[in-house]
A and B are shown apart, each in its own frame.
Chain A
Amino acid sequence: MKFLKKYPLIPSALFAFGLYLAILPFGTTKASLLDFFKPEPAPKEEVIDLEAFSRIPVLRGGRVKPLDSVARNTLLVLRNKRSALDQNGTMIPAISWLAHVLLNPEEADKLKTFVIDHDQVLGLLNRKLAKDGKYYSYNELKPFLKEIDESARESGKLEREKQDSFDQNIIDLYRSVLLYRKLKHTLSPPAPPPETKMIEDLDLNTFFFDSDKDKDRTDEYSRFRSITKAISQDPSTIRIGSDEFGRVVFLLDHYSRSNLWSEFFPVPPETGDQKKRWRKVGESLVGEEPLDSDQKRNLDPAQFASLLQDLIRTDRVPLQEKVNFILTKEKLNPTALFAAQYAEAIKLRTEVDPILPLYEKLRKAYVRNDPSGFNDAVSSIRRLCEQRAPDQVTKLGFEKTFNAYEPFYRCSVAYIIIFLSACLSWLCLAINTAKFNANHSKSFKNVAYHLTLIILIAHTFGLLGRMYIEGRPPVTNLYSSALFIGWGAVLLCWFTEKYLRLGIASSMGAMVGFGSLVIAHNLSLDSSLNPTGDTMEMMRAVLDSNFWLATHVVTVTIGYSTTFLAGFLGLAYIFYYFIHQVLVSDTSDNKLSSLLSSSRKQLEKTLGSMIFGITCFSLFFSLVGTVLGGIWADQSWGRFWGWDAKENGALLIVIWNAIILHARWAGIAKIRGIACLAIFGNVVTAWSWFGTNMLGVGLHSYGFMDKAFNPLMSFIVSQMVFIGVAYLVTPLRSLFRKKQPAAK
């Protein structure tokens, strides 16, 4: 009882709920914070162990990641969610969707994989949003593939600025279908259409995989190997017009082409490969194409045949040298380059990579629903990958748990609770009865404050997790800048709240935190920014400097975040000011208005100094960050300042913060003025953060986007409305009040 007295029920419940959100699994987020410290769950034996399957390493988007990440990221692109639906629309885990797609495509085609929520696009498919919903399976799209393809092509011809929402949606759908088909064929190269004349001519009818006759696709691969073996033993058959040669050329071409139908690299680096290249199934059979396939048109067939014959006559060791020589010295000669690839495929790649039979075994076991076969294959594949790429698979387990923990989703929900607690605390003050009074208010504030700390830890853990997986400083792209801006603002709010327990800093911090996480989520959905669905993409060469990323980018982003925070505190003040001006008059005497007018002086002083202090921080960080950026630019481009759009954006923030501070120091702006200036700081920062990217000019245009235009404009307009309210509310009120007595 005493405990409850000290900690009233509602605040305690809120606190407990927040704590639960931060740590334990809920809804779709299946992992808890504790899972990070547990070892991998023991392999299951009786059922198909998708948990282990989800940890198989593959290379996609330049980075080795678990299949789990591939599943979630591709679903983010296809369905704008990190989970999947089965054919009835029931939610299933991402990994079981991927298992279907990779191993049992016929079944996968029935799953509702694609999101289509644009009326016109649905119209193209003869569907209605209200009746048919927005999720569709590949089978449902299949009859319309031609229409989708044609419309997307038409839309693609338009310049970006001229595309409307239909154009963008149909292009997105086209890309989604393509991505899905590539994913389906990643482990099973599609056979050429059987009616192809060449197959008949070259007597390859029985070559390709036939589920009736063959054990699995490895039979096809071994047939290919025996064909190449035959020709390498009898190089004289390599001449134009010979059937043997024709077959090899046709098949090599076929497998090279199949690489285009592959979304990720499942084959780990071959032993002895200096560059540690992962390979696609086709590449594992025939090597990498030295040039774009189109270039084959430019090769000289006679020269090609004679050179290839020459190469095949060479022994393996000198052949490897010759191939390397050609690849480095004959870069402008497509004939030689392709001859080198063909020679490699025929003579140097004599075995079928052992991982291919394992994947085949996996597929068969999955289709037959044979748990022990499946689990065996999974563990063999994982063992093989660990052997062949031991240093690339160490972070996979962490990434898998991190995916399931979904730290930023948790935090965004928890920030709402913090905001709620802060609001409740003011409500208690306002009501001020026996049941809800200043004491309750205080405990709500304390809940908000303590929850902020706990959620901040989860948020920080999310950032640290990303840093660990990427091996990079926290801010690497627009998405992570949003995460970081939220984090910075919340951290600063927590400190402020620590000294000034008013609930204002907590609530505004929660607002900035929530807002930035929502922005981050929308950024991750933007197909132009994030085409692979992976928010941990690789850095382009010029940004590839951890030192400058850690100093310049982080400081500038803190500058953004503090400027936003100052702006939101400004908003809080204007909100208060508005209520005060509307409710409080000389005649009114209710509790709320007396509370408002009695607290006014104190609140103005506190809020004023908070805005001022945070603006000082903003100026400091944005100035230091901008100057560091100048030094980086001087180091890498040879000019300290180049008037690049993004640089100018940062400079605007610096100048604006300087204006706020000087206006206050000189006494030109009082609290209301400062608050409005700080709100306009939001506009300046939003412009610098997103607006400059929309211009599409300059060296920093690594995050071009145009979908954000309307949200940005509405944000700017809303801020201007607040500023307008601040200055208009008093004259309007007096106008209003003057009229009223007259009416009486």
Chain B
Amino acid sequence: MSNQSKKKQNAYSVGARKKAFPWIVPFASVRLTLTLLSFSMILIFVATLEQVRIGIRGAQAEYFESFYGIWYYPEQFWGGSFLSMVPLPIPGGYLLGGLLIINLIAAFITRFQWSGKKMGIQIIHLGIILLLIGQMTTQAIQVESRMQINKGESSDYIERFHGVELAITDVTDANRSKVVSIPEQLLTPGNTLRVPGFPFKVRVQSFGPNCNFDFKESADQRSEITRGVNQGIGASANLSLTPMDEDFSNDAANFGYLVFQLINGSEEMGTWLAVAHPAGNDRWKFIHAKLEGMSFQPLRHQGKLWGMELRSIREYLPYSIELVKIENEFYQGTDIPHNFESHVNLNLESGQKRKALVYMNTPLRHRGKTFYQYQMNKAADYTVFQVIRNPSWLVPYIACILLSVGLLWQFSFHLIYFLRKQSKVSG
């Protein structure tokens, strides 16, 4: 009895908190937790299966980075011909994650005992909240890019794995070039864009993330999308293209395309076609000599020369990385790679030069970006880094520390209790 009255006096006791926030209590229910966790299991299982069909990135966009996803039972499975017709809504990652965070916070407020004995549990759950928040933040703001460097050369920009931009570069000045870039979000068909520092307006006729293209004999034989193209490579090579769905698989090669008009005042100057090569526009020449110019479609006006291209969204860095040497070793007599490494020089803005070695499990970190060894071509002597900027990278680490502290706390309590009991039994 005295114990209970003591509890009542404590303003922070569970009972008092429950009384203070009666509306939170239902959110804190364990049954809700169990329901959410069970749904998470379904979500994760379904999304894993779906990776076979739409790739990791596709599954991520469809299920984990959304509030719900619609799943169809795979046709090739048992009974699939019938079951695959039923659309099943699956709660998505943001929905479950959000609700779990609410549930956990509510539990903190109205259910958890704020006492030393249960401190471990609370710390663990705090860690889990942080993990959830960290993952959601990362998915929202992490940017993945690539940097390709040929041996003996250096590179000062990174390119996104996904997403293209129309870049218009004024190269007239011998000392510096002026770039205007229009990201794909703005390239909606029908849009007319005023571009600062560029004398013409850009009117988007059609745009798509992926296409198939081939050469035709004349303009009439081209597909409808490109029939109106009368300037640049699209016109001279008589390119015809068919739009395709974006490929989400891991080894996808998406050729984004853009048909646009340039307008000078009210006068149309012509229609261009630009296609982006997924591995960089300097690779066009390996597809066909006619397409080499895709990386620089010239535009001349009033003594100035612009080059226009559609390319992966590019970001220039204030420093550059120079590839000195690459190593790619295999275990003798096997196909098992033993080591990939790139010897690079980091050339800083200040003129400082730093040597660095990038290899498996050991990236190069600089100015908030991390460069990971991603691909390598020993014969052609180039290396590709995956470049990641993730300002919230620390959050999971903090969460991990909280988790381990909490787990340690809780388990040492249990262990001590268990050992005491044992010694009592044996004693």
Taking Cβ atoms with an 8 Å cutoff, the residues of A that contact B are: 59-63, 264-265, 277-278, 331-332, 499, 537-542, 544-545, 548, 616, 620, 623-624, 627, 630-632, 634-645, 648-649, 651-652, 655-656, 658-659, 662-663, 665-666, 668, 684, 687, 692, 695-698
Contacts and interface: CB of A to CB of B under 8 A. Distances in A.
Nearest to B44: A648
A75 to B, nearest CB: 19
A3 to B, nearest CB: 27
A636 B380 contact: no
Interface stretch (B51-59, B206-214, B229-237, B280-288): B51-59
A624 B407 contact: yes
B333 interface: yes
B111 to A, nearest CB: 10
B337 A265 contact: no
Contacts of A642: 56
A497 to B, nearest CB: 14
Given A541-B340, A639-B388, A662-B33, A623 B403 contact: yes
B361 A635 contact: yes
Nearest to B78: A713
A662 B30 contact: yes
B361 A692 contact: no
A62 to B, nearest CB: 3
Given A499-B422, A638-B372, A643-B60, A541 B338 contact: yes
A452 B336 CA distance: 38
Contacts of B381: 331
B407 A630 contact: no
A656 B362 CA distance: 33
B105 interface: no
Contacts of A635: 361-363
Given A631-B400, A655-B44, 15 more contacts: A59-B332, A331-B378, A331-B381, A541-B339, A541-B360, A544-B339, A544-B361, A545-B360, A627-B400, A634-B396, A637-B386, A640-B135, A645-B48, A659-B41, A695-B48
Nearest to B392: A640
B38 interface: yes
Interface string B291-328: 00000000000000000000000000000000000000
B251 to A, nearest CB: 11
B407 A639 contact: no
18 contacts: A264-B333, A278-B332, A499-B422, A544-B339, A545-B361, A616-B414, A620-B411, A627-B403, A636-B360, A637-B386, A638-B363, A638-B390, A640-B134, A649-B48, A655-B40, A655-B41, A668-B31, A698-B56
A631 B404 CA distance: 13
Contacts of B404: 624
Contact of B336 (A538, A637, A639, A641): A538
Nearest to B421: A499
Interface string B244-264: 000000100000000000000
Contacts of A684: 41
Interface string B33-47: 110011011001101
A466 B370 CA distance: 36
Interface string B172-216: 000000000000000000000000000000000000000000000
B336 A277 contact: no
B113 interface: no
B16 interface: no
Contacts of B64: 643
Nearest to B387: A638
B102 interface: no
Nearest to A696: B52
Interface in B53-104: 55-56, 59-60, 64
B107 to A, nearest CB: 11
A539 B336 contact: yes
A635 B370 CA distance: 10
Contacts of B51: 643, 645, 695, 697-698
Contacts of A696: 52
B379 A331 contact: yes
B37 A659 contact: yes
Contact of A544 (B338, B397, B411): B338
Given A620-B407, A662-B30, A665-B30, A540 B390 contact: no
Nearest to B341: A541
A643 B56 contact: yes
Pick the 4 closest A-B CB pairs, nearest first.
A62-B331, A638-B388, A666-B30, A636-B361
Nearest to A688: B48
A459 B60 CA distance: 41
Given A648-B47, A695-B51, A62 B336 contact: yes
B142 A639 contact: yes
Nearest to B361: A636
B266 interface: no
B49 interface: yes
A637 B372 contact: yes
Interface in B382-418: 386, 388, 390, 393, 396-397, 400, 403-404, 407, 411, 414
A157 B340 CA distance: 32
B124 to A, nearest CB: 9
Interface string B323-359: 0000000111110111110000000000000000000
B135 A641 contact: yes
Contacts of A545: 360-361
B13 interface: no
B337 A541 contact: yes
- Name which of B51, B60, B393, B407 has the most chain A CB atoms within 10 A of its CB: B51
A643 B390 CA distance: 17
B223 interface: no
B55 A658 contact: no
Contacts of B393: 634, 640
B150 interface: no
B138 interface: yes
Contacts of A331: 378-379, 381
B94 to A, nearest CB: 14
Contacts of B400: 627, 630-631
Given A541-B340, A620-B407, A659-B38, A60 B333 contact: yes
- Name which of A540, A630, A643, A697 has the most chain B CB atoms within 10 A of its CB: A643
A623 B55 CA distance: 26
Nearest to A640: B396
A538 B338 contact: yes
A62 B333 contact: yes
A623 B407 CA distance: 10
A727 B262 CA distance: 72
B371 to A, nearest CB: 9
Contacts of B334: 61-62, 537-538
A640 B386 contact: no
A500 B336 CA distance: 47
- Name which of A624, A639, A658, A663 has the most chain B CB atoms within 10 A of its CB: A639
Nearest to A542: B360
Contacts of A643: 47-48, 51, 56, 59-60, 64
A640 to B, nearest CB: 4
A652 B48 CA distance: 11
Contacts of A544: 338-339, 360-361
A656 B38 CA distance: 8
A364 to B, nearest CB: 27
A695 B52 contact: yes
B138 A639 contact: yes
A627 B398 CA distance: 11
Contact of A666 (B34, B144, B378, B380): B34
A639 B60 contact: no
A698 B250 CA distance: 8
- Name which of A635, A684, A696 has the most chain B CB atoms within 10 A of its CB: A635
- Name which of B37, B333, B380 has the most chain A CB atoms within 10 A of its CB: B333
Nearest to B370: A638
Contacts of A264: 333
A683 to B, nearest CB: 11
Nearest to B63: A643
B397 to A, nearest CB: 7
